[in-house]
Structure 1
Amino acid sequence: LNLIDRVTDLLEEGIDIAVRIGHVSAPDLVVVRVGQVRRYLCASPTLLAILRTIKSPADLANAPFIRLGGLVSGAQLTLQD
C-alpha cells in the first residue's frame, strides 16, 4: 500500500490499482468512477473584510490563496457557476 500525493505513471511504477482524485487521461487505463470529491472555496473573516463584497469570480482575481498542489494544477483557480 502506497499513500502518495503525486501523479504517478501506474504502468512504469508497477502499480496494479489506484484510487485517484481528478481527471484521468491515460488511454491505456481502465477507469471506473467510484465516488465524487467536493471542493470548497473558503476564506477567513479577516480576508473577507479586506476583499470587501464578492459578487463574481472576477472579484477574486488578485486574492491570495493556498492550494493543494496534488489536486489543483497551475497557479490559478478555475471557478464555475
Structure 2
Amino acid sequence: MTDADSLRQGLAKPKVAKAGKRKQPEVLEEQLESGLEDSFPASDPPAVVSSTISGGGKKLVGVEEHLRRKREEKSGH
C-alpha cells in the first residue's frame, strides 16, 4: 500500500510542515508523487474553450493587405 492509498483510506495523516521551517526535498518529492498518483489518469478530458466577441466578427486580412492599406493611408488615397 502506498502513502497515497493510506491517505485516501484515512489510515495516515498528511505530512504538514511547521511554520517557518523549510520542507525537506524528500517530503516535497513524496507529496509530488502522491499528487501525481491521485490525478493520473485524468478523469476529465481537457476542455475546449472558444471565445466570441459581441457585435459580429471583424474581417481579418493578411499581412500584404494590411501593408497595402497602410501605404494607401500614407499616400492619401
Interval containing the TM-score (normalised by the shorter chain): under 0.3
Larger radius of gyration between Structure 1 and Structure 2: 2
- TM-score, normalized by length of structure 2? 0.23
Higher RCO (C-alpha 8 Å, min separation 6) = 1
